[in-house]
């Protein structure tokens, strides 16, 4: 038995994969990654694949980036882990200072955790307690958007809305208020952009007007709803959300877990609309895709609400064992240094330009209903009938079939339903980007036009 077969057998015996139909997995021949280099993943048989989804939206400067490898090695010579409960550590301090420096203004404090879901849970708890201390205890609910995804824990599922993920757990969840996200291809208020003048904001205002006394915070994925299928909001929507949340005395939580660290072409998506949220959640790209780390950034006001008084001191009673892990913080620092030294945000602009040009070409395909993108995040929505926008039957699993076809062409992508997600590392070269998109183009064509069922 060769190495790959043996590993496959062990994987099937012992590993339970996330968001995976294990029944199918056990019957398939899973691909096992052993190494990587730049934008390429390399499997146990030495085959190379372009990492078209940045290893689930995390890889920023490519794999095995020398500066990031080195940061971890250097930190290893000092200390791998030391707790933030009652102690400080060097990289967590330097990183916090740096994050505050690049964040939208008003965010001055950094609370660490280790994944996107915890970063959001923390924001929800901070927002809730803030109003308790401000003497408005009825403000204890959250307002979230249709199609939202904020993580897989109980609290984050409660503000999430994607039915396949959260539907079965609903009896466990707390209720949230809901307003429509501008999914312009299938407009929730039946209008067309830009004639609509972003009319969905009126629906948001209606909810706020009626219920603001019970709402602690509004949580949003700024500009791009990732898991909903890379739904891109028009410029001005986020600004409108900020204006309305201020008007109705509701905090704004920006979940930048997917959009942060250059993904949309700016460091943070909020910066496109010049918006400063009250809380900002960061994870995924924060370490350049190396180690699990997250941060929830807060305003001074929310921080101060948790101080208590001299006679009755208070604390934020929350913390994870690996909070502020020095190895993760040191590679996150190195990640930000690369952004600065290599002027990544400037240098990616021609690649972003090429990306949009190539993506526009997908509209000519017979079963591509919509193409949405911002920066280097894109979703290509497949439909059975372009004229009526009728989706494919779910059982056909067209998105999945396209991605499996792309794998044969040396590309790793993962669909969200029938939307093909394309999210390469920011470091991708033009030549690699062309290869990636042409493999996806051909895969869509072959699967949707070859096999009409």
Ligand X SMILES: *Cc1c(COP(=O)(O)O)cnc(C)c1O
Nearer Cβ to ligand X, position 8 or 150?
Answer: 150
Nearer Cβ to ligand X, position 241 or 439?
Answer: 241
Nearer Cβ to ligand X, position 109 or 284?
Answer: 284
Contacts with ligand X, 79-118, as mask; x by CB under 6 A: ------------------------------------xxx-
**Whole-Å CA distances, 337 to 98, 344, 450:** 10, 10, 47
Phi first, then psi: what are they for 258, rounded to 5°? -90, -35
Q: Which of 50, 230, 283, 436 binds ligand X (CB under 6 A)?
A: 283
The residues that bridge with 284 in the sheet, in sequence order, are none
Residue 149 in contact with ligand X, rule: CB under 6 A = yes
Size of the site for ligand X (CB under 6 A): 15
Nearer Cβ to ligand X, position 161 or 255?
Answer: 255
Do residues 245 and 279 make contact, with C-beta atoms less than 8 angstroms apart?
Answer: no
CB of 8 to ligand X, least distance (A): 25
Residue 151 in contact with ligand X, rule: CB under 6 A = yes
Q: Which of 121, 161, 255, 432 binds ligand X (CB under 6 A)?
A: 255
- DSSP letters along 269-335, please? GGGGTT---SEEEE-GGGGTTSS--EEEEEEHHHHHHTTB-SSSB-------TTTT-HHHHHHHHHH
> What part of residues 392-411 is at the interface with ligand X (CB under 6 A)?
none
CB of 221 to ligand X, least distance (A): 5
How many angstroms separate the CA atoms of 67 and 453, rounded?
Answer: 50
Q: Which of 232, 241, 253, 257 binds ligand X (CB under 6 A)?
A: 257
Nearer Cβ to ligand X, position 4 or 55?
Answer: 55
Residue 419 in contact with ligand X, rule: CB under 6 A = no
Contacts with ligand X, 156-195, as mask; x by CB under 6 A: ----------------------------------------
Handedness of CA 188, 194, 196, 200 (dihedral sign): positive
- DSSP letters along 45-84, please? T--EEEETTHHHHT-SS-BT-HHHHHHHHHHHTT-S---S
Residue 376 in contact with ligand X, rule: CB under 6 A = no
How many angstroms separate the CA atoms of 50 and 59, rounded?
Answer: 12
Do residues 379 and 414 make contact, with C-beta atoms less than 8 angstroms apart?
Answer: no
Give me the residue whose beta carbon is nearest to ligand X: 116
Nearer Cβ to ligand X, position 294 or 439?
Answer: 294
Handedness of CA 59, 163, 204, 249 (dihedral sign): negative
CB of 100 to ligand X, least distance (A): 21
Binding-site ranges for ligand X (CB under 6 A):
115-117, 120, 149-151, 221, 226-227, 255, 257-258, 283-284
């Amino acid at each position: 038995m060769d190495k790959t077969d043996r590993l496959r057998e062990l994987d099937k015996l012992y590993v339970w994969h996330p968001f995976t139909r294990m029944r199918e997995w056990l019957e398939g021949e899973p691909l096992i990654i052993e190494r990587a280099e730049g934008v390429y993943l390399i499997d146990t048989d030495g085959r190379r694949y372009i990492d078209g989804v940045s290893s689930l939206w995390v890889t920023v400067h490519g794999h095995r980036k020398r500066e990031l490898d080195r940061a971890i090695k250097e930190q290893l010579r000092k200390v791998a882990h030391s707790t933030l409960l009652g102690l400080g550590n060097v990289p967590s301090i330097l990183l916090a200072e740096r994050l505050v420096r690049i964040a939208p203004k008003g965010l001055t404090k950094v609370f660490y955790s280790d994944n996107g879901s915890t970063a959001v849970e923390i924001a929800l708890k901070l927002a809730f307690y803030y109003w308790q201390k401000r003497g408005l205890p009825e403000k204890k609910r959250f307002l979230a958007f249709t199609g939202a995804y904020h993580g897989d824990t109980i609290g984050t599922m409660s503000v999430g809305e994607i039915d396949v993920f959260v539907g079965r757990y609903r009896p466990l969840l707390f209720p949230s208020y809901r307003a429509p996200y501008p999914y312009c291809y299938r407009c929730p208020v039946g209008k067309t952009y830009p004639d609509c003048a972003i009319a969905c904001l009126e629906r948001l205002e209606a909810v706020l007007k009626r219920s603001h006394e019970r709402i602690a915070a509004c949580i949003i994925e700024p500009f791009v709803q990732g898991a909903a299928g890379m739904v891109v909001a028009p410029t001005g929507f986020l600004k409108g959300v900020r204006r309305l949340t201020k008007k109705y005395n509701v905090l704004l939580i920006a979940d930048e877990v997917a959009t942060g660290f250059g993904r949309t072409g700016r460091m943070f998506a909020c910066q496109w609309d010049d918006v400063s949220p009250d809380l900002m959640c960061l994870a995924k790209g924060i370490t350049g895709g190396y180690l699990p780390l997250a941060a929830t950034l807060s305003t001074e006001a929310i921080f101060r609400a948790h101080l208590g008084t001299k006679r009755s001191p208070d604390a934020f009673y929350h913390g994870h064992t690996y909070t502020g892990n020095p190895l993760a913080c040191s590679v996150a620092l190195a990640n930000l240094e690369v952004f600065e030294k290599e002027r990544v945000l400037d240098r990616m602009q021609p690649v972003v330009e090429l990306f949009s040009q190539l993506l526009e070409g997908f509209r000519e395909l017979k079963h591509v209903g919509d193409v949405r993108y911002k920066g280097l995040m894109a979703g290509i929505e497949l439909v059975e009938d372009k004229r009526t926008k009728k989706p494919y039957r779910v059982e056909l699993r067209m998105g999945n079939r396209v991605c499996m076809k792309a794998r044969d062409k040396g590309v790793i992508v993962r669909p969200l339903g029938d939307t093909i997600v394309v999210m390469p590392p920011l470091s991708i070269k033009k030549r690699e980007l062309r290869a990636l998109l042409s493999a996806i183009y051909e895969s869509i064509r072959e699967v949707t036009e070859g096999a009409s069922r």
